[in-house]
Amino acid sequence: MSRKFLVALGSAALALSLAACSGEGAGSGGDTSGEQPSDLTIGVSMPTQTSERWIADGNSVKEKLEGKGYKVDLQYAGDDIPTQSQQIDQMITQGADVLVIAAIDGTALSGQLQAAADANIPVISYDRLIRESPNVDFYVSFDNYKVGVAQATALLVGLGLQNKDGSKGTATGPFNIELFAGSLDDNNAHFFFDGAMDTLKPFIDDKSLVVKSNQTAIEQVAILRWQQETAQRRMEDLLTSSYNDGTKVDGVLSPYDGLSRGIITALQNAGYGKGSAKMPVVTGQDAEIASVKLINDGVQSSTIFKDTRLLAEQAAIAAEAFLKETEPEANDTTTYENGVKVVPSYLLPVQTVYKEDIQSALVDSGYWTAAEVAAGQAQG
Ligand code: BGC
């Protein structure tokens, strides 16, 4: 018996009364397996439109689900937690049959998820794990720990401490580096940072890498809501506080292209990248077009490509499985403990992109065109 059905039995009275309130047949729980796709709606809640990747995610999920004949209610929350809660509340009352949610704050949606469970609406956590709730039915994401390993490896490769094949590089250091992490309320930020620090630790221990600011704890280096401006300000502060004695920063671990652009702006304003002052090795994530151009121009060192088209596809497959009253297929049932339970997951692989990989990874796959890479912006 599916979880959904068991919940239906357990809270039949509540589900019935909610169904009556919402005035909708489908979407208020119950068996959706016999319904036409066009009678079923998937609520898709995305965090923000300020980052290109979430716009691409939203569009791809919508496209894949509409391609299967379903209706889609796609909402963006402007990185505002109350807005996201309210949008999800509304999706529930309007009779969504499945919810796909990329949370702003992974712990802030327990109330909404309880309401969804009470109405027998399966919840798919999209890319970011929703924490502290038993009512997360499935998780689709990338291998987030490996993203961190890949970012740290790209930093080591850029500095010459390691070769791409994992062998020891010719450089010995010591190199001055600084570390950045994402938003503490995003579960992924912790996975990225853990993967990166596990990889960098031996080099910090043997002093070939020196974090000159001494800021190595995630709480010290995290950037709330992944804001570019906040990263720029922190980099400016680091330059004035830790590099005012003529020493130079050689590398920056950055977990997201938006942060990388803020960091690069701070570095450029301080004279890096001009004349003999080399631009430090700066990492990234998401293959955002403005950053792909910076990589192509030799300003940013690398990014991590996560093909959001494939993630959207997995979300659509999982949503359809729930609508057909079956369980989606997981490929990981151990890693993602959300504080209450281990959430069955489907994780996709990631790929490091240096300048020489732009063509094969991003252009040949149709993710960006050569013209977009040259222009540094999406073209329709
Ligand atoms: C995503 C990253 C993204 C970051 C900022 C994370 O949850 O996994 O791909 O760079 O959010 O939007």
**pLDDT at position 234:** 98
Is residue 221 in a domain?
yes
Length of the chain: 380
**pLDDT at position 284:** 98
Q: Is the domain of 248 the same as that of 369?
A: yes
Give residue 257 CA to ligand 1 midpoint distance, Å: 9
Q: Is the minimum distance from the CB of 285 to ligand 1 under 6 angstroms?
A: yes
pLDDT in tens, the chain (380 residues): 344 444 444 444 343 344 434 434 344 456 787 788 889 999 999 999 998 899 999 999 999 999 999 999 999 999 999 999 999 999 999 999 999 999 999 999 999 999 999 999 999 999 999 999 999 999 999 999 999 999 999 999 999 999 999 999 999 999 999 999 999 999 999 999 999 999 999 999 999 999 999 999 999 999 999 999 999 999 999 999 999 999 999 999 999 999 999 999 999 999 999 988 899 999 999 999 999 999 999 999 999 999 999 999 999 999 999 999 999 999 999 999 999 999 999 999 999 999 999 999 999 999 999 999 999 999 87
Quick one: tokens of 172?
């010995």
Element (H, E) at 266: helix 257-269
Q: What is the DSSP letter of 358?
A: I
**pLDDT at position 379:** 87
352 — phi, psi (to 5°)?
-80, 135
Q: Is the domain of 43 the same as that of 121?
A: yes
Is residue 4 in a domain?
no
Q: Is the minimum distance from the CB of 234 to ligand 1 under 6 angstroms?
A: no
Q: Is the domain of 362 the same as that of 325?
A: no
Q: Is the domain of 181 the same as that of 121?
A: no
Residue that the structure tokens 């001009």 belong to? 274
Q: Is the domain of 256 the same as that of 199?
A: yes
Give residue 12 CA to ligand 1 midpoint distance, Å: 38
Is residue 281 in a domain?
yes
Is residue 7 in a domain?
no
Give residue 6 CA to ligand 1 midpoint distance, Å: 34
Give residue 206 CA to ligand 1 midpoint distance, Å: 31
Is residue 15 in a domain?
no
d(CA 191, CA 184): 11
As for how many domains the chain has, the answer is 2
Task: Ligand 1 pocket test: pick from 180, 193, 286, 308 the residue with the most ligand atoms within 8 Å of its Cβ.
Answer: 286
CATH code of the domain containing 125: 3.40.50.2300
d(CA 352, CA 51): 20
Q: Is the domain of 204 the same as that of 269?
A: yes
Is residue 14 in a domain?
no
**pLDDT at position 332:** 97
Is residue 12 in a domain?
no
Task: Ligand 1 pocket test: pick from 256, 291, 308 the residue with the most ligand atoms within 8 Å of its Cβ.
Answer: 256
d(CA 267, CA 279): 8
User: Ligand 1, closest atom to CA 255?
Assistant: 10
pTM attached to this predicted model? 0.91
Give the structural domain span for 296: 144-306+352-375
* R_g (Cα) of the chain, nearest Å: 22
Q: Is the domain of 187 the same as that of 237?
A: yes
Q: Is the domain of 122 the same as that of 261?
A: no
Give residue 256 CA to ligand 1 midpoint distance, Å: 7
**pLDDT at position 198:** 98
Q: Is the minimum distance from the CB of 192 to ligand 1 under 6 angstroms?
A: no
Q: What is the DSSP letter of 179?
A: E
The torsion defined by the Cα of 15, 17, 20 and 22, in degrees rounded to 10, comes to -70
Q: Is the domain of 160 the same as that of 218?
A: yes
Is residue 370 in a domain?
yes
**pLDDT at position 10:** 41
For 14, the 3-state DSSP assignment is helix
Q: Is the domain of 129 the same as that of 232?
A: no
Strand order of the sheet with strand 281-282?
209-211, 175-179, 251-253, 281-282
Q: Is the domain of 315 the same as that of 329?
A: yes
Q: Is the minimum distance from the CB of 256 to ligand 1 under 6 angstroms?
A: yes
**pLDDT at position 267:** 98
Q: Is the domain of 318 the same as that of 301?
A: no
